[in-house]
Amino acid sequence: MTRHDPASVPVPVVPSRVGDSAQCVALGQIIDRVADKWAVMTIGNLSTGSLRFNELMRRIPGVSHRMLTLTLRGLQRDGIVDRTAFATVPPRVDYALTELGKSLIEPLGALARWAESKQDQVLAARANYDTRMNP
C-alpha cells in the first residue's frame, strides 16, 4: 500500500495546489476554454495571420456558423483573439491573435503535434480495446 508523502513526489504536470481547490477549478476553466476543439483549430488557423469570419469557417472543417461565433466570442472575452470591424458594406471583420493569444501558439502547437504524431497509436489502441470488449 503505497502511502504517498506529498513532499517526496515530484512536481505534477498540473501544478495542483491540492489544498487550494479554487486554484484548480480556475485552471480547469481556462483549460476547458483553451483546449476546446474549435478553439484549438481557430487559434491554429490564426497563428499565421488575421482572417475574416468566413475564411475561418472555410478552413475549419465541420464547424458550424454558431459554434465559430461562440468560439470567437469566448476567445475574444479571454483576451486571446482581437476583433476588428470595418464599417464597410458589406461588413468586414478581421480576427487576429493578441499577444496573449500568440503565447498560446507554442504549447498548443506541441499538443497538436502530439495528436498528429501519435494518432496512429491512439486509433490502434482504440480499435484493439473495442475488439477485446466487443468481439
Partner DNA sequence: CTGCATCCAAGGTGATACTG
Partner DNA sequence: CAGTATCACCTTGGATGCAG
Contact residues toward DNA (CB under 7 A) are: 52-55, 62-67, 69-70, 72-73, 83, 85, 90-93
Separation of alpha carbons 135 and 122, rounded Å: 19
As a three-state string, the secondary structure of 84-112 is: EEECCCCCEEEEEECHHHHCCHHHHHHHH
Per-residue mark of binding to its own copies, 5-34 (x: CB under 8 A): ----xxxxxxxx-x--x--xxxxx-xxx-x
Q: Min. distance of Cβ 47 from DNA in angstroms?
A: 19
CB closer to its own copies, 16 vs 65: 16
Q: Across the beta sheet with 81-86, what order do the strands follow? A: 51-52, 92-97, 81-86
Instruction: Calculate ∠ Cα 116-122-125, nearest 5°.
Output: 160
Q: Residue 82 interacts with its own copies (CB under 8 A)?
A: no
How many Cβ atoms from other residues are within 10 Å of residue 50's Cβ? Answer: 16
Among 5, 7, 61, 85, binds its own copies (CB under 8 A): 61
Q: Min. distance of Cβ 85 from its own copies in angstroms?
A: 15
CA 73 to chain centre: 14
The contact set with its own copies (CB under 8 A) reads: 2, 4, 9-16, 18, 21, 24-28, 30-32, 34-37, 40-41, 43-45, 47-51, 55, 59-62, 76-80, 100, 103-116, 118-119, 121-126, 128-130
